[in-house]
Amino acid sequence: MPNETDLYVYFEIILYPVVGMLVIEMISRKAKIPNWIKLLAQALMCVGFGIAYLVMQMSNWLTAGVLLALAIALFYQAKLSKFHPQKALY
């Protein structure tokens, strides 16, 4: 059953988390925030968008799943960056 959502709405759904990630990146670089805090903030933002996309009237389960998988990877990178900075990828 196809839904009546325009293509630009799907573009916006994908664009919002990307803009959020970039804003967090710019703020953390400007304020010289440690990498693990930046990664943690980005992971929490991904979880927030993922949950929001799951409970929206038009459920975007695939986008939400990708965001939640990205959040898991970001939590892991934040843990590595906090406890083993020499093993962190960046």
* Segment 26-70, tens digit of pLDDT: 999 999 999 999 999 999 999 999 998 888 866 678 888 999 999
Assigned domain for 39 exists = yes
Q: What is the dihedral of CA 90, 85, 26, 52, to 10 degrees?
A: 100
77, part of any domain: yes
Which of 79, 86, 84, 87 lies closest to 39 in space, CA to CA? Answer: 79
The number of CA neighbours under 13 Å toward the Cβ of 47 is 11
Does residue 5 lie within any of the structural domains?
no
Q: Is the overall model pTM greater than 0.75, yes or no?
A: yes
Q: Which domain holds residue 53?
A: 17-22+34-83
Residue 29 maps to a domain: no
Structure tokens at 26: 């710019």
Number of domains the chain is built from: 1
Per the domain annotation, does 45 fall within a domain? yes
